[in-house]
């Protein structure tokens, strides 16, 4: 069973999941004691607040934010690269994953590193402003408009 969870302001909102429509349930009051896995992708602040509580209820949190990436008690996992490190998840019942560009990069680099040790790599990434959400998109719109009408550009 898949359950859509969000803040109280989104209760009752409908989201699509495959060919189904799910009604959003309140994250604040959801009982995770009978849940196996929580896929957390709500940002670092939300994950820091809720993931430990969810983990204590016995549910394993797989977190997509930056909140747990540097926590020594939370394994940072890319299954194709270090699946064996997943055994460490039980300290907090939380598993972290790196950001999107890092995950795909290390999958490609792992076999190269295994064959001939990589000592240094320089990477540049370019990511969409939509990753910053509505505020980021609004800022880009306003800055683009300012360029075209010769107004000052505000960050």
pLDDT band at 132 (very low <50, low <70, confident <90, very high): confident
Structural tokens at position 24 = 């959003």
Q: What is the pTM of this model?
A: 0.79
Mean pLDDT of the chain: 94
| Separation of alpha carbons 33 and 47, rounded Å | 18
What are the tens digits of pLDDT across the range 51-81? 999 999 999 999 999 999 999 999 999 999 9
**CA geometry: angle at 51 spanning 61 and 44, to 5°?**
105
CATH of the domain at 89: 3.40.50.720
User: Within this chain, do residues 70 and 22 fall inside the same structural domain, yes or no?
Assistant: yes
Residue 155 lies in a domain: no
List the beta bridge partners of residue 5. 25
User: Within this chain, do residues 76 and 133 fall inside the same structural domain, yes or no?
Assistant: no
User: Within this chain, do residues 85 and 106 fall inside the same structural domain, yes or no?
Assistant: no
Residue 154 lies in a domain: no
- Is pLDDT of 108 > 90? yes
User: Within this chain, do residues 12 and 32 fall inside the same structural domain, yes or no?
Assistant: yes
Provide the domain limits for residue 119. Answer: 102-149
User: Within this chain, do residues 90 and 108 fall inside the same structural domain, yes or no?
Assistant: no
Give, in order, the Cα–Cα distances in Å from 139 to each of 70, 124, 127.
30, 23, 16
Looking at residues 116-133, what average pLDDT do you find?
A: 91
User: Within this chain, do residues 134 and 108 fall inside the same structural domain, yes or no?
Assistant: yes
Q: Specify the number of domains making up the chain.
A: 2
């Amino acid at each position: 069973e898949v359950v859509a969870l969000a803040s109280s302001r989104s209760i009752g909102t409908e989201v699509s999941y495959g060919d189904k429509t799910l009604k959003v349930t309140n994250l604040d009051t959801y009982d995770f004691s009978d849940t196996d896995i929580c896929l957390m992708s709500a940002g670092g602040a939300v994950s820091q607040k809720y993931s430990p509580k969810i983990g204590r209820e016995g549910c394993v949190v797989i977190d997509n934010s930056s909140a747990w990436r540097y926590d020594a008690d939370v394994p940072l996992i890319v299954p194709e690269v270090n699946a064996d490190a997943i055994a460490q998840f039980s300290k907090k019942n939380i598993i972290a994953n790196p950001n999107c560009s890092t995950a795909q990069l290390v999958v490609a680099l792992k076999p190269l590193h295994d064959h001939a040790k990589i000592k240094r790599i320089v990477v540049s990434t370019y990511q969409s402003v939509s990753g910053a959400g509505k505020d980021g998109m609004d800022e880009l719109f306003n800055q683009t408009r300012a360029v075209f009408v010769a107004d000052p550009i505000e960050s």
